[in-house]
Structure 1
Amino acid sequence: MLCIKNAKINTVTNGIIQGDILIENGKIKEIGKDIVVPLDVKVVDAKENYVFPGFIDPHTHVGMWEDGMGHEGADGNEETDPITPHLSAVDGINAMDRNFKEAYEGGITTVASGPGSANVIGGQFIALKTYGDRIDDMVLKTIGMKIAFGENPKSAYGKEDKTPQTRMATAALLRETLKRAQFYLEDMIDYEEDEDCDRPEYDNKLEALIPVLKKEIPLKAHAHRADDIFTAIRIAKEFDLDLTIDHCTEGHLITKHLSKENYPVLVGPSLSERCKIELRNLTFETPGILSNEGLNVSLMTDHPVVPIQYLPLCASLAVKAGMDKNKAIEAITINPAKVLGLDDRIGSIEVGKDADIVIWNGHPLDIQSNVACTIINGEVVYSA
């Protein structure tokens, strides 16, 4: 057992509580004032400092592009085939990438990491805790199927005189693959329900798309420009699929449309240069504008584009540009937890949830604040 005493607890979902947190078997057991604990329980004195749930980054490539490694550590894009749904981040992440340590030292306890955006369908994103030395022990679940629109697939394959060279071809390839997956699933259902039907020939690409068709995971769409966002929405609606809009750089230009469609939006990386045409409208005002419209907004670093430990700084800059302070905290806690389908475990300080808790020596959106202690699954993994 572990007990955090004398804390200013920002629960995120139930306001601020001055008191203690009791942790048992990696879970939050009790929250309240002057909790009485046995003498053998380890006590962490928060010294009246801020206590927040561990922050969550819902779109990174941590461990896929390892820090300081160059080509040898680059395992995020399989640029030999624009359609690779059968690839899983769990087989490409190096848990010993030092950026995981920098993440939890910066208060980030859960990330989603996965393939890059060179391919029309890049593969499977996973959610994982940031502490550990073996990916099998860190992974929580597969949370989405990465797809990409816009400049990246065009530039990756167009230069090789391969498809896709246009946005039309990107959409066509995605539609063709989803339709083939639908037929494959229908044949599998017929085989399982009718003993006279032959089993369809195994196809690992189409097999990987079955959870998408069953709405067990969403399409995780890389889309910066407004027209690419609309294409992602159009295809998701055509095939009746769940969708998250990742980057959403021009979301502030189409706010009313996004509000009507009401898909989750993951905004970022905003702390970066406008290095290509589709980023020309990049601004930190986007998350605040979308949040004020009632959308479920999460913030993302797209690590290594923005180093993972600067997720709280991105939230702070969003507040500076007009986002409500509480909404900015939600955008790095409970909102991404909902996007990842893990809000029953993480994203807020509530009884029964994972004990992923961070003690700060000041408010985390104050650039001068530092992490004093990080707890993941009830274990103190970092102490300043």
Structure 2
Amino acid sequence: MIRKLVCGWPLVVAGLMTCPPAHAQTFAIVNAHILSPGPVGEVAHGTIVVRDGVIIAAGANVAAPPSTRVIDAKGARVTPGFVAVNTALGLMEVSSVDGTMDGRSRSPQISAAFDVRYGLNPESTLLPVARLGGVTRAVVMPDFDDSDKQRELPFAGQAAMITLDGGSNILFKPSIGMVIELGEDGGARAGGSRAAEFVQLRTIFDNVRLYRTRKQAYDNAALRELGLSRADLEALIPVVEGRMPLIATVHRAADIRQTLQLARDYHLKLILNGAEEGWRVAREIAGQKVPVLLNPTANIPRSFDLLGATLRNAALLNAAGVDIAISGNDSGHAVRDMRYNAGLAVSHGLPYDAAIRAITLGPSCIFGTDDHIGSIAPGKEADLVIWDGDPLEPLTQPVAIFVDGKEVPLTSRALELRDRYLGASH
């Protein structure tokens, strides 16, 4: 069981500042209070050894190799880097400036084929801001542009996972899910009815199956109209084959049940996003082994879809055996709030170790990257954060952040501007 303990911030800083930044070299973090899901678990006084960006040893009875750079954590907590979900990191800068928003399309020919990987900006100023919240990887999801009321294509496009290592190539894993929105907002794009959207989806999946087996006839114009562009039909083949998850944003219990039935009928690999009334159908979600991406702060009935929203949603889903991942408070500027949201979920019944898992190994398992990231364990990439206190407490800050074993700077454009103008005022 992971527990919250107190450690001293000045001691941690003193221990770290004696060493230069690491660049994918061998180093060891000693006297670390390890907080990690998985076999290593919680270790009050442990050591983590990293070589060439990969963790080679971690635990209580681990010694730092000779001639190794040693970082003395002085008892500070060390967690895996956080894996953020439901973000637009790398795709947006200023939400009110359309030219800086690359996560959505109005094209009538590109729906499922829209792929966020081609719009990623590694120089986005939002990436360091998220990283300062302990985020080292993020799931980037496309969104809908509803300014064109004639666009009735149901899919937002394909999500990807990125790394926040500060490098020029931030793409970590492409095509990790196909994004769609159901319920009230999704139904509005299908003629104004959620019932129409479910009929539309079933028709689309039937047509994709037909296209998959009759491509030559399609190319020879010997097949009936299938309703989507060739690009969209091709993009949906991995979905109907169960190789690419369908990430369905859905809220009320009745719509969740319909979505689960759709997944059963078409043998889809399903991920629920939002699911504010998921607690009402938690056993059904768990029974189908469907994971949920959620914001545990959602408890205000902003629409009829959210009448059953509760701060206990995360705890109740977890108790039912649902694998959950906790998000931040928006897709860009407040991604780093995910750790605060995890702490709020703990205050409403989610076990502390489950909250840590929901921002590390949980999302990594959901998106199939758990062989590489999400926990502190031998063979995993060294995404590590040393904290000056409890990572789920708002006042806690990172002391050091490593992505792929490389120490990254604890700065952002916002902090640099602060320091510049604070200096100018004196």
Q: Compute the TM-score of the two structures, normalised by the length of structure 2.
A: 0.80
- CA distance in 1 between partners of 2:323 and 2:238 (Å): 23
Q: 1:63 to 1:11 in 2, by over 3 A?
A: same
Q: Which amino acid aligns with 1:249?
A: E
* 276 and 63 in structure 1: CA distance in 2 versus 1, 3 angstrom threshold: farther
Please tell me whether residue 139 in structure 1 is matched to residue 172 in structure 2: yes
Question: Following the alignment from structure 2 to structure 1, what is the Cα–Cα distance between the partners of residues 274 and 263?
Answer: 17
Query: How far is 1:331 from its partner?
Result: 1.0
2:424 is matched with none
Report the more deviating stretch, 113-122 or 312-321.
113-122
| Alpha-carbon distance change, 37 to 200 in structure 1, aligned in 2, over 3 angstroms | farther
Give the 3-state SS of the residue equivalent to 1:298 in structure 2: strand
Alpha-carbon RMSD across the aligned residues, in angstroms, is 2.4
Instruction: Say yes or no: does 1:12 pair with 2:46.
Output: no
1:350 aligns with 2:377: yes
Residue aligning to 1:335: 362
Q: SS in structure 2 opposite 1:234?
A: helix
Alignment partner, residue 37 of structure 1: 65
Spell out, residue by residue over 1:252-274, the C-alpha distance to the aligned partner (whole angstroms, 9 max, x if none). Answer: 12223223333111122635864
The DSSP-based 3-state class of the residue aligned with 1:209 is helix
Distance 1:376 1:262 in 2: 31
Match of 1:194 in 2: none
Letter in 2 for 1:151: E
Higher mean C-alpha displacement, 21-30 vs 336-345: 21-30
Give the letter aligned to residue 73 of structure 1.
T
Query: CA 1:198 to 1:172, structure 2 compared with 1: closer, same or farther past 3 Å?
Result: closer
8 Å Cα contact 1:271-1:314 kept in structure 2: no
Tell me what 1:257 maps to: 284
What is the CA distance between 1:229 and its match in structure 2? 1.2
Deviations 1:138-189 (A, max 9, x none): 322321000110222344x4xxxxx43211222222222211111111125x
* Residue 173 (1) aligns with residue 200 (2): yes
Residues 55, 110 of structure 1: 8 Å contact kept: yes
**3-state secondary structure, aligned to 2:390:** coil
Change in CA separation of 1:322 and 1:82 when aligned onto 2, cut-off 3 Å:
farther
Instruction: Confirm or deny: 8 A CA contact 2:252 2:275 kept in the other structure.
Output: yes
Name the CA distance, whole Å, in 2 between partners of 1:94 and 1:354.
Answer: 23
Whether the 8 Å contact between 2:116 and 2:159 is mirrored in structure 1 is yes
Counterpart position of 2:326: 299
1:61-108 CA-to-partner distances (Å, cap 9, x unmatched) read 223332465322222232454970000011233222222111111101
What does residue range 222-241 of structure 1 map to in structure 2 within 5 Å? 222-241=249-268
Q: Structure 1 residue 243 and structure 2 residue 276: aligned?
A: no
Aligned residue in 2 for 1:53: 80
* Inter-CA distance 271–286: structure 2 relative to 1 (3 Å threshold): closer
Aligned identity (percent) is 28
Distance 1:319 1:11 in 2: 16
Contact 2:80 2:385 in 1 (8 A): yes
Distance apart, 1:117 and its partner CA: 4.5
- Give the match for residue 149 of structure 1: 182
> In the TM superposition, what are the counterparts of 1:181-330 in structure 2 within 5 Å?
181-188=208-215, 203-268=230-295, 270=297, 274-301=301-328, 303-304=330-331, 307-330=334-357
The TM-score, its normalising length taken from structure 1, stands at 0.88
Partner secondary structure for residue 294 of structure 1:
coil
The change in CA–CA distance for 1:172 and 1:93 in structure 2 (over 3 A counts) is: farther
Task: Kindly name which structure, 1 or 2, has the bigger radius of gyration based on alpha carbons.
Answer: 2
Q: Which amino acid aligns with 1:244?
A: I
SS in 1 for 2:393: coil
Give 1:223 deviation, angstroms: 0.4
> How many residues in Structure 1 have an aligned counterpart in Structure 2?
369
